[in-house]
């Protein structure tokens, strides 16, 4: 085994090493999706591209928002805005576990000193109509990644099967850098002329968003926007495939899916505002899932989805 590289010194160095590691393994390194999502899986490069027969290999950082996890920047581990690093390989390679373990070495985890474990964790996203089998990966008792073989997305069987990795970047980085409170973590190099900690960048925003998420967001407006996004998604998908202007066949799977992402995020905000009851929750999740399924159906008709040309 190659010798473990020198330990990284900052949050961004860990991201850079992951990007370069997966880039070396042939992944296209994408940029984050420009919408609010609850998890990196929502990026269309995962959700939609896991469907259909075409091979795919991407890695990207995705900022995620989980309004209910806001703690005003006080909790050492919980944030309403955080980063995931996402890898999707289709078909999943036979040595996917080994490749993953290699990425841990790359970010400075010495495999001879730590206890890495694959603990059963079946992944299911009720809002995406998706499920897969896999594990949460533990390093010395801490969950550092999700490892999933997608079986279904948007209600469709995946064939070939995609292997998905999700690294919770803050938690992983805190572990590697030996930091106890996320806000104390060096974001850039600690010896830079302007050293910035995670807290210098995000403490204030965590506080602001926590207040807005929990107590201020206009729920009546959000409810309206949820309905709007849902209606727009449906309307997009109802358009005939033939574009009257260009005469081309253009199924608008991605614009429709954007509305599905939007509805999902608005639902999360409503949830944080505490205005959704347990049973209503199920109904909302069902509505988002219906959108996700419709988008998946549409994507499978497109060229990228391997559909009829």
Cα separation, 268 vs 65, in Å, equals: 9
Helices (H) and strands (E) in the chain, counts: 8, 9
Contacts of another protein in 240-299 (CB under 8 A): 274, 277-280
At its nearest, how many Å lie between another protein and the CB of residue 140? 3
Nearer Cβ to another protein (103/188):
103
Report the residue from 2, 3, 6, 120 that binds another protein according to the rule CB under 8 A: 120
Nearer Cβ to another protein (19/77):
77
At its nearest, how many Å lie between another protein and the CB of residue 280? 7
Binding window for another protein (CB under 8 A); candidates: 24-32, 158-166, 205-213, 254-262? 158-166
Report the residue from 111, 222, 223, 285 that binds another protein according to the rule CB under 8 A: 111
Nearer Cβ to another protein (96/257):
96
Q: Which helix (DSSP H) or strand (DSSP E) does residue 169 occupy?
A: helix 169-177
Q: Which residues contact 139 (CB under 8 A, 6 or more apart)?
A: 104, 109, 114, 115, 116, 117, 175
At its nearest, how many Å lie between another protein and the CB of residue 114? 6
For residue 208, with 0-12 CB atoms within 10 Å meaning exposed, 13-18 middle and 19 or more buried, which class applies?
middle
Cα separation, 135 vs 123, in Å, equals: 8
- Identify whether the C-beta of residue 156 lies closer than 8 Å to the C-beta of residue 300: yes
Q: Does 140 bind another protein (CB under 8 A)?
A: yes
Q: What does DSSP say about strands 163-168 and 81-90: parallel, antiparallel, or unpaired?
A: antiparallel
At its nearest, how many Å lie between another protein and the CB of residue 90? 9
**Of the candidates 136, 164, 189, the residue with the CA atom closest to the CA atom of residue 60:** 164
**In the complex, which residues of this chain contact another protein (CB under 8 A)?**
75-78, 91-94, 96-97, 110-120, 122, 132-135, 139-142, 149, 151, 159-161, 163, 175, 180, 274, 277-280
């Amino acid at each position: 085994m190659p010798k473990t590289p020198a330990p990284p010194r900052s949050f961004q160095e860990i991201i850079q090493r992951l990007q370069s590691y997966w880039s070396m393994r042939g992944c296209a390194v994408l940029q984050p999706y420009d919408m609010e999502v609850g998890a990196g899986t929502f990026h269309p490069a995962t959700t939609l591209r896991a469907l259909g027969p075409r091979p795919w290999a991407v890695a990207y950082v995705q900022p995620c928002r989980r309004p209910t996890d806001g703690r005003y920047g006080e909790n050492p581990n919980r944030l309403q805005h955080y980063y995931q690093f996402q890898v999707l390989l289709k078909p999943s390679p036979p040595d996917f576990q080994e490749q993953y373990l290699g990425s841990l070495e790359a970010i400075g985890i010495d495999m001879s000193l730590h206890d890495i474990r694959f603990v059963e964790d079946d992944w299911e996203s009720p809002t995406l109509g998706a499920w897969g089998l896999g594990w949460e990966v533990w390093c010395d008792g801490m969950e550092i990644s999700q490892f999933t073989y997608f079986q279904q997305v948007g209600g469709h069987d995946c064939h070939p099967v995609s292997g998905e990795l999700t690294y919770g970047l803050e938690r992983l980085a805190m572990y590697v850098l030996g930091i106890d409170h996320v806000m104390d973590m060096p974001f850039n190099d600690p010896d830079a002329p302007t050293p910035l900690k995670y807290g210098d960048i995000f403490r204030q925003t965590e506080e602001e968003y926590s207040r807005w998420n929990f107590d201020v967001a206009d729920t009546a407006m959000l409810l309206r926007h949820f309905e709007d996004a849902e209606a727009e998604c449906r309307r997009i998908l109802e358009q005939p495939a033939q574009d009257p202007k260009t005469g081309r066949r253009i199924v608008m799977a991605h614009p429709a899916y954007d509305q599905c992402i939007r509805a999902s995020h608005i639902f999360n905000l409503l949830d944080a505002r505490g205005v959704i009851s347990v049973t209503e929750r199920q109904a909302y999740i069902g509505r988002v899932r219906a959108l996700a399924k419709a988008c998946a159906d549409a994507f499978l008709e497109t060229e990228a989805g391997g559909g009829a040309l």
